[in-house]
Amino acid sequence: MTEKKKKKGSALTRIARAIDAAGRDADVARRSANDPEFRRGVREDRRRTLSSFQTVKQALADRERIQKSRKTKS
């Protein structure tokens, strides 16, 4: 089986997607900021709780990709 490659699209499209995701995540964050259960989750396991946001998932994926590329260069 071959893996399907995702189309990256133009740079402008990727930027627009990133801005859109950031706006949605900001809206969700504003709504959940005063939720006691959310605050408790952030205190107990910050990474797991915040990974529910799309932009955080993208940042973590970018970080892993950068670390892998550094390992292959070394």
Q: Which domain range does residue 32 map to?
A: 11-73
The pLDDT, as a whole number, for residue 7 is 62
How confident is the model at residue 3, as a pLDDT? 52
The predicted-structure confidence for 4-22, as pLDDT tens digits, reads as follows: 556 667 889 888 888 898 8
pLDDT of residue 1: 44
27-70 confidence digits (pLDDT tens): 888 888 888 888 888 888 887 888 778 888 888 888 898 899 88
Note whether residue 5 is domain-resident.
Answer: no
For residue 53, the 8-state DSSP code is S
List C-alpha distances in Å: 28 to 5, 31, 38, 40, 60: 30, 5, 11, 16, 19
**For the chain, how many structural domains are there in total?**
1
* Residue 56 located in a structural domain: yes
Burial 28-56 (b: 16+ CB within 10 A, else e): eeeebeeeeebeebeeeeeeebbeebbbe
Q: Is residue 45 part of a domain?
A: yes
| For helices 11-32 and 54-73, angle between their N-to-C axes, nearest 10 degrees | 130
- Residue 2 inside a domain? The answer is no
Tell me the pTM: 0.51
- Whether 4 is in a domain gets the answer no
Domain presence at residue 6:
no
